Structure 1
Amino acid sequence: MPTGVALRDPREQLFDAAERVLLRDGPSALTSRAVTTEAGCAKGVLHRHFADFDAFLAELVRDRIARLDGQAAALRAAVGTGTVADRLAGVLTELFGSVAVAIVGLVISRDELRARLRASTPTGIPLLTEATAMIADYLAAERAQGRIAADADLDALAPTLVGTAHLHFADRTAPPPEPAAVRRLVAALLGGAA
């Protein structure tokens, strides 16, 4: 590998390379060598910016969790518009149509990574826990608008929506479910709550 080549944003370039490896080859193929090869840089670049590979992976996951903030803001801004089922189907499709499924597989497969992420996500599976909170907040806002039943159990409904959607998107080698199928799934889970 060439050395001395300036990288525009080494952390983001490495994160993007890790995502490509995850999506193409899965969590078991994600190594520091695979990431730096994919990024087109020397292996030392990764270790110059991160203490070790698990520190890199933890920051990758935290960065992808932080990206939920934009999605959460858009969801809050959409309260009271469209249908709740359509809105949730879109959010879940966007969430799991990205690298999230591969990130969840990565977190599940690496004990040291999970341990490092416990500081920011003390319970649950990082990324899915934050997505569940985002959806629960949206459902609560819709309930305040009268579009979700007052007696709906949001603490059960939000993780059910996220978990069920994850199961439908989990096979990274199969095509994702059709939008209409995701919409039917969400509508069935909402049942009488919407």
Structure 2
Amino acid sequence: MPTGVAIRDVREQLFAAAERVLLRDGPNALTSRAVTAEAGCAKGVLHRHFDDFDAFLAELVRDRIGEVETRGAALRGAAGTGTVVDHVAAALTDLFGPLALGVLGLVTSRDALRARLRRTTPVGIPLLTEAGAVLAAYLAAERDLGRLTAGSDPDTLAFTVIGSGHLLFAGYEGGAPSAVEVRRVVDTVLAGATPRTG
């Protein structure tokens, strides 16, 4: 890109480029050169907006975390409607799309990135920890409405669902489990917390 030509929404453009590289080529291919080439801009553009490439990646992950938290508000708003299992299964499918799995691959494979993310996610795996908190808030709302047993522990249920979901989705190279498989895992995890009828 010629010098002096303004790029609109640089941050979003660079994030979108990074996501395309991540989806197409995987976490190991994600370099500052690959991102700027994909974005169609000079390498210096990234470094004008971020201290270094790990700072860029940390902001990319935080951006994804923000999306999870935004979707979590909608999920909490759905409490009391439909079925708990269907809502949780849909949330898992949304969470563990190909892009999120790529971002998780970045987080687990880059020590410097994980160290930066510890500033905002001091424990657990960034993105999964926040997704677990969002899901726990939804399950707590459902418990308060009597749709889960009074003694159920939303935090434990949420992190069990997240861990099981991560293993399930990560096991499908280039694909995803069927909706039936996802629902079966969620149903199994929540079975003990579901009030008995009849």
TM-score by length of 1: 0.95
**C-alpha deviations, 1:101-126, integer Å up to 9, x for none?**
11111011111111111110000000
Matched, 1:70 2:47: no
In the TM superposition, residue 171 of structure 1 has moved relative to its aligned partner by 4.6
**AA in 2 matched with 1:113:** L
5+ long unaligned stretches in structure 1: none
In the TM superposition, residue 78 of structure 1 has moved relative to its aligned partner by 0.3
Matched, 1:54 2:21: no
CA contact 1:13–1:39 (8 Å) conserved in 2: yes
In structure 2, C-alpha distance between the alignment counterparts of 1:181 and 1:148, rounded to whole Å? 22
In the TM superposition, residue 64 of structure 1 has moved relative to its aligned partner by 0.9
CA contact 1:61–1:103 (8 Å) conserved in 2: yes
Matched, 1:164 2:169: no
Q: Which residue of 2 aligns with 1:38?
A: 38
**AA in 1 matched with 2:54:** D
In structure 1, C-alpha distance between the alignment counterparts of 2:161 and 2:22, rounded to whole Å? 24
In structure 2, C-alpha distance between the alignment counterparts of 1:98 and 1:90, rounded to whole Å? 15
**AA in 1 matched with 2:47:** H
In structure 1, C-alpha distance between the alignment counterparts of 2:69 and 2:111, rounded to whole Å? 26
**AA in 1 matched with 2:100:** A
**AA in 2 matched with 1:51:** D
In the TM superposition, residue 98 of structure 1 has moved relative to its aligned partner by 4.9
Q: Which residue of 1 aligns with 2:178?
A: 178
| 1:1-194 alignment runs, 5 A limit | 2-171=2-171, 173-194=173-194
Provide the identity percentage: 66
**C-alpha deviations, 1:130-162, integer Å up to 9, x for none?**
000001111111000000111123232111100
Query: What is the DSSP-based 3-state SS (H/G/I as helix, E as strand, rest coil) of the residue aligned with 1:67?
Result: helix
Query: RMSD over aligned Cα, in angstroms?
Result: 1.3
Query: What is the DSSP-based 3-state SS (H/G/I as helix, E as strand, rest coil) of the residue aligned with 1:99?
Result: helix
**AA in 2 matched with 1:92:** L
**AA in 2 matched with 1:147:** R
In structure 2, C-alpha distance between the alignment counterparts of 1:69 and 1:111, rounded to whole Å? 24
CA contact 2:69–2:131 (8 Å) conserved in 1: no
